[in-house]
Structure 1
Amino acid sequence: MEILIPRPLAGVPGANAPSDQSAALSWDNPTSVRLDVVGAYKVELGVVPLEHLDQQTPTGYWKRPEILVSRKTFLDLVGRILPEPPVYQMLVKVARHSDTKVVVQRLREALGQDYGVYAVAELVSTAGEAGGLRLIVPDMSSLIRWMIITMAAGIVAASVYVLLALQTRKIGLLRAIGATSKDIVLYALSAVAYTTLAGIGIGFVLGKLISLTVITATDFSFLEWLKMAGYDALLSLAGIAIPLVLGLGVAIWASRIPCAEVLRRE
């Protein structure tokens, strides 16, 4: 994806800086700045020196037809062309992301070809009934996901541990009728697998069905939803693997309970 920055038109003074002959802009031969895919839902622009501006390719990423960058990044880009560019700002609050594209398009149609209109995203806090809600930095999204998975895995493993601890009588009776440690491990792992698969499966399916209804209120396409669902499925498989590994340790512990000790407790 590329964005175009107008070049200064030498010899023509601008409206905001009459003494500066480079204040006027020309769209005849604009400077092209290329944005490459490097992450998810963020734009990271490198340093764009004033010389050799065409050869620089700052990297970034955004899954939308319009450009949304911070105000500082936008002014830094334009500032490479003009020290004090004639920039006019307008604060617009929208309820949906797709409304941003509509507002920008209408402004471009109203102003004509002599002006460039860019959507600059501002990081703000939204207030709800329970108080202020803070926005999460995009780079923290993966970390938070894995923290949730690890915590959920610990909860599942602890629940299975309690389940097996309450079934020591059954495990002792299995030993009494000649069950081997391998049989008890398979029994314990079956309890772990059924509990984990049922819980994660029900939660994943219901969660994706709920998120599918949200698409009607956003500008996400069905293909984008499928990609997100696939990514969540991979995380869910990782969430299944973690409690299974922990459950294996619980099963090994259960298989080593002496039969006499179990019967004595009962």
Structure 2
Amino acid sequence: MTKIILITGASRGFGKLWAKALLERGDKVAATARNLEDLHNLVEKYGDAVLPIQLDVNDREASFAAVSKVKAHFGRIDVLINNAGFGLFGAIEETTEQQARAQMETNFFGLLWLTQAVIPIMREQGSGHIIQVSSFLGLVTFPVLGIYNASKYAVNGLSETLASEVKSFGIKVSLIEPNGFSTDWSGASAMQTEPSEIYAPVKQAFFESATPDSWGKPESTTPAVLQLIDSENPPLHFLLGKVAYPGVKQVYSERLAEFEAWKEVSAEAHGH
């Protein structure tokens, strides 16, 4: 059956890649971008199967209007892929208020607005799949990406809660949690703090730890994402890339060992 899919941040990277794959197989896609011209080639190739929408996800009212437009145009929304977001590189101490707020506005609040807007439609349908593009950095952390880590931890906490709230309505929730991929996320789309020499060694160690093999090929994610979309029982947490699983496994093993080491002190703190 043809699916109606709303994808934010469809002008580049994962969003554009997945939109093309969905259109190629015959689905219909509502694609959003800050600049409509960035969606022109999709419309040119796929015609009426694409509904291009200019949207800044930071604008709550515009986000709700965009969702209403998709429902009015296609009649339903089967899948929402909250993909809009960007990376902020820099030490936490270096980060300005404006940078921190901008990161949370887009990566967390923008995603929240679209999620809130689509729930009533999917609830009325009795079905739907909300897919949040998070990161494996919503499960573990890297230095030099503190506010980005925080935004993705927030997305994960929100989405895990959401899954328990909307399950009875027939709505599924999945978190796509990629490791690093060779998209614009760390390039043209990224924001940088004003560097301080104090953190130069930390940054150098972080960037030198990455090898060419650390970065996945974005086009290789397409079959996995299509499988996720088509799954009758999709996972809540869906890791993408070969770096994510061993990284998460190591951190969670260490975390459990630490809890275990302090469990008696923790229990005594309960008071009775």
TM interval, shorter chain, is under 0.3
Which has more strand, going by share of residues?
2
Q: TM-score, normalised by structure 2?
A: 0.22
Q: TM-score, normalised by structure 1?
A: 0.22
Higher relative contact order at CA 8 Å, sep ≥6: structure 1 or structure 2? 2
